[in-house]
C-alpha cells in the first residue's frame, strides 16, 4: 500500500479506490493517518488535505492517546491476552486466549510489538463481533419488529454503526469493547434508521419508544472511542 511521508506525522497510508469520489482523511486505531482517494487523483491533493487540516489532526492525535496492551488484559468480552517470552515474535489465537511470544530483550510495550499484538486483538474482536452482534441484532430486530437486509462488520475509526438506504446495517467490531447497554443503544439506533434515514424528531421519538433512557446511553457513548 502506498505511503506518503509527512514531516510532522510520519508515514501516511494512501488508499486508492474506484469507489472513492473525494479525498478524505482519517486516523486509524494505530494513530496512523490514512487518506482515501480516487484511483487517478494526483498525490498532491492528499498533501494539500493534510496541510489544510493539520491543526485539527494535531488536536485529535493529542486527544487520542494509544493504550498499551499488557499480559492478562481482557480483549472484548471473551478473549484474554497472554504474553510469553521466547526466541521469535509469534502470535496465535487459541480458543479464548490471544497468545503472543515476545523475543527476550525486547519490550512488549515497544510500538512495533504493540502493533503486532493489536492486530491479533482486532482478529479476536472481529470473531466476537460476528458471533455476538449478528445474534443480538436479529434478536432486537425481532423483538421490536424491525427488518433489515444484511449486516456487515467494519473497523471504522469514527463510527460505531451505520445503516444504508437499502437496509444494510454496519456495526463496528470495536463495539465489543463497550458495555452491553451501549451496544444495544447502537444497534437500536441503526435499526431505527431503517424507518428514518435522518436524525429528525420522529427518529429520536422512535428510539425513545424502545430505549426510554437513550439520552443517558448516548452521552455515555460520546466518551468512548473505537480504538485499543
Establish if 47 belongs to a structural domain: yes
Q: Are residues 203 and 143 in the same domain?
A: yes
Q: Are residues 78 and 95 in the same domain?
A: yes
Whole-number Å distance between alpha carbons of 52 and 165: 32
Q: pTM score, two decimals?
A: 0.73
Q: Are residues 50 and 91 in the same domain?
A: no
Residues 4-61 have pLDDT tens digits of: 888 888 789 999 988 888 999 988 766 778 999 999 999 999 999 999 999 888 877 7
Model pLDDT, residue 9: 81
DSSP class of residue 65 equals: P
Q: What is the percentage of the chain residues whose pLDDT exceeds 70?
A: 94
Q: Are residues 217 and 148 in the same domain?
A: yes
Residues 99-113 have pLDDT tens digits of: 999 999 999 998 889
Residues 77-131 have pLDDT tens digits of: 999 999 999 999 999 999 999 999 999 999 999 888 988 999 999 999 999 999 9
Q: What domain count does the chain have?
A: 3
| Domain endpoint, select from 39, 63, 87 | 63
Q: Are residues 122 and 137 in the same domain?
A: no
Q: Are residues 133 and 121 in the same domain?
A: no
Range of the domain at 98: 74-126
CA 197 vs CA 137, 141, 159: distances in Å: 18, 17, 16
Q: Are residues 136 and 186 in the same domain?
A: yes
If you search the block for the grid coordinates 491533493, which residue do you land on?
45
Establish if 68 belongs to a structural domain: no
Establish if 228 belongs to a structural domain: no
Q: Are residues 94 and 81 in the same domain?
A: yes
Model confidence at 1: pLDDT above 70:
no
Establish if 163 belongs to a structural domain: yes
Of the candidates 226, 75, 78, the residue with the CA atom closest to the CA atom of residue 154: 226
CA angle 82, 74, 150 (to 5 degrees): 115
The CATH number given to whatever domain includes residue 138 is 3.30.2010.10
Whole-number Å distance between alpha carbons of 169 and 150: 6
Establish if 169 belongs to a structural domain: yes
Whole-number Å distance between alpha carbons of 87 and 193: 51
Q: Are residues 121 and 140 in the same domain?
A: no
Whole-number Å distance between alpha carbons of 211 and 113: 41
Q: Are residues 120 and 202 in the same domain?
A: no
Model pLDDT, residue 29: 62
Model pLDDT, residue 226: 73
Q: Are residues 140 and 217 in the same domain?
A: yes
Beta strands in the chain (DSSP E): 3-6, 10-17, 24-27, 33-38, 74-75, 79-86, 90-94, 97-103, 150-154, 161-163, 168-172
Length of the chain: 228
Whole-number Å distance between alpha carbons of 153 and 172: 6
Model confidence at 156: pLDDT above 80:
no
Contact residues for 20 (Cβ-Cβ < 8 A; gap 6+): 36, 37, 38, 39, 41
Pick 72 or 227 by higher pLDDT: 72
Whole-number Å distance between alpha carbons of 127 and 204: 31
Q: Are residues 156 and 110 in the same domain?
A: no
Of the candidates 171, 186, 190, the residue with the CA atom closest to the CA atom of residue 221: 186
Amino acid at each position: 500500500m502506498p505511503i506518503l511521508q509527512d514531516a510532522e506525522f510520519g508515514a501516511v497510508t494512501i488508499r486508492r479506490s474506484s469507489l472513492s469520489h473525494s479525498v478524505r482523511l482519517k486516523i486509524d486505531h494505530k494513530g496512523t493517518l490514512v487518506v482515501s482517494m480516487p484511483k487517478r487523483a494526483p498525490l498532491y491533493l492528499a498533501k494539500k488535505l493534510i496541510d489544510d487540516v493539520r491543526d485539527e489532526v494535531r488536536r485529535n492525535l493529542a486527544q487520542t492517546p494509544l493504550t498499551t496492551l499488557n499480559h492478562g488484559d481482557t480483549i472484548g468480552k471473551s478473549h484474554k491476552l497472554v504474553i510469553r517470552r521466547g526466541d521469535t515474535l509469534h502470535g496465535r489465537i487459541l480458543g479464548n486466549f490471544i497468545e503472543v511470544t515476545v523475543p527476550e530483550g525486547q519490550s512488549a510495550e515497544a510500538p512495533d510489538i504493540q502493533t503486532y499484538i493489536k492486530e491479533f486483538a482486532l482478529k479476536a474482536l472481529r470473531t466476537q463481533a460476528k458471533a455476538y452482534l449478528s445474534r443480538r441484532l436479529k434478536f432486537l430486530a425481532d423483538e421490536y419488529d424491525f427488518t433489515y437486509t444484511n449486516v456487515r462488520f467494519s473497523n471504522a475509526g469514527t463510527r460505531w454503526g451505520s445503516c444504508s438506504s437499502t437496509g444494510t446495517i454496519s456495526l463496528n467490531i470495536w463495539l465489543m469493547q463497550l458495555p452491553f447497554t451501549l451496544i444495544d443503544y447502537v444497534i437500536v439506533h441503526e435499526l431505527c434508521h431503517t424507518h428514518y434515514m435522518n436524525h429528525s424528531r420522529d427518529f429520536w421519538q422512535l428510539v425513545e419508544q424502545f430505549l426510554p433512557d437513550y439520552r443517558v446511553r448516548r452521552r455515555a457513548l460520546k466518551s468512548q472511542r473505537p480504538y485499543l
